[in-house]
Amino acid sequence: MRKRLALLVAVGAAATLSVAGQATNTNPTQRNPGAVLGGPKYKKDKTPTSRYLHGTVTDDTNQPVAGALVTLFNSKTNDKLTFITKRDGRYHFEDLSFNVDYNVQARYKNETSTQRKISQYDSRPDVVRMLELQSPEEAKSTK
């Protein structure tokens, strides 16, 4: 009986050490499966209730544009939301409805991008739209 008890204690201690070793893993090269780049983190078993739109505004040489004004148009209410791009040309809009069509467009000085649509039929919660600025002459020639 004492041998069984000693064996159970030894197995329990080994299991505790094993769990403790996993909790204090300090290997910097090991990948963290919970880390996600980009937009908000959604749990796989939960259905998201809103969308996240993000992207980058670039010029005709594909360089990011800081200080560009990105406007999001709501097709149902005709409301407009604006975002001024950061140093790296990035913008984002959160809490967008799945039941509304949106249009997004960027402006910087006298340049504009083409309007990009976000459709209510696109069910992705994380939407990316890259916006390239064009001069007024370039915009006329592409129409």
Q: Which of 5, 93, 13 is nearest to 55 (CA)?
A: 93
Q: Which of 104, 101, 127 is nearest to 114 (CA)?
A: 104
Query: 51-137 has which fold?
Result: Immunoglobulin-like (2.60.40)
Q: For the chain, which residues make up each domain, given as ranges?
A: 51-137
Q: Which of 130, 38, 50, 40 is nearest to 98 (CA)?
A: 50
Residue-level pLDDT at 48: 87
C-alpha torsion angle, residues 134, 136, 139, 140 (rounded to 10): -160
Distance CA 11, CA 74 (A): 62
Distance CA 51, CA 27 (A): 35
Distance CA 141, CA 143 (A): 6
Residue-level pLDDT at 31: 42
Q: Does the pLDDT value for residue 132 go beyond 80?
A: yes
- Interval 52-79: pLDDT, tens: 999 999 999 999 999 999 999 999 999 9
> Is this structure's pTM higher than 0.85?
no
Residue-level pLDDT at 46: 79
Residue-level pLDDT at 140: 62
Q: Does the pLDDT value for residue 16 go beyond 70?
A: no
If pLDDT is split at 50, 70 and 90, which confidence band does 24 have?
very low
